């Protein structure tokens, strides 16, 4: 009986470790890329940035996630437990896009900023390209108004 209870506890613990839930309730901020509006969830804590968009199966076209870091550093992202293809814009403190990288789901490939940045904005893959948004352009919104 005791062995069955231990096995049951271990099975429940293992199941909960694999039943990851996407974070959907982060605070939001409105950003703009020219005439295009973006509703971005703000990942600001180490836990929020570590989880990011993992485990999501879809994301509306006008939504994304803005990762905010306390200081500008070269930032690198990967997609190990992310299920949807994304494009990441690596953004300097003033809102200038340093570079954009397309990232594939469940990949361990590292995608890095070409220079130190404070922000990374993840959108559905191709969102930036479809709107002609490229490196050197500026995004606007409260995080970049300092």
The full set of domains in the chain, from first to last, is 22-144 (2.60.120.1140)
Work out the pLDDT band at 21, boundaries 50, 70, 90.
Answer: confident
Lowest model confidence (mean pLDDT) among 4-13, 22-31, 82-91, 105-114? 4-13
Q: How far is CA 34 from CA 17, 104, 133, in A?
A: 42, 26, 9
In the prediction, which pLDDT does 20 show? 76
| pLDDT at residue 9 is higher than 90 | no
Predicted TM-score (pTM) of this structure: 0.85
Work out the pLDDT band at 12, boundaries 50, 70, 90.
Answer: very low
Higher pLDDT, 120 or 1: 120
In the prediction, which pLDDT does 79 show? 96
CB burial of 55-68 (b: ≥16 within 10 Å; e: otherwise) equals bbeebeeeebbbbb
The three-point CA angle 35-117-22 to 5° equals 75
CA 128/CA 132 separation, integer angstroms: 6
State whether residue 112 is helix, strand or coil: strand
């Amino acid at each position: 009986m005791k062995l069955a209870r231990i096995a049951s506890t271990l099975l429940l613990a293992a199941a909960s470790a694999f039943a990851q839930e996407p974070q959907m309730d982060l605070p939001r901020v409105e950003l703009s890329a020219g005439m295009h509006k973006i509703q971005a969830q703000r990942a600001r804590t180490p836990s929020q940035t570590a989880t990011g968009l993992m485990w999501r199966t879809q994301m509306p076209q006008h939504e994304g996630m803005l990762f905010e870091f306390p200081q500008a550093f070269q930032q690198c992202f990967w997609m190990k437990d992310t299920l949807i293809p994304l494009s990441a814009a690596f953004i300097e403190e003033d809102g200038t896009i340093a570079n954009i990288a397309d990232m594939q789901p469940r990949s361990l490939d590292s995608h890095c900023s070409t220079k130190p940045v404070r922000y990374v904005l993840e959108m559905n893959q191709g969102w930036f390209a479809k709107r002609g948004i490229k490196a050197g352009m500026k995004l606007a919104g409260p995080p970049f108004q300092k």
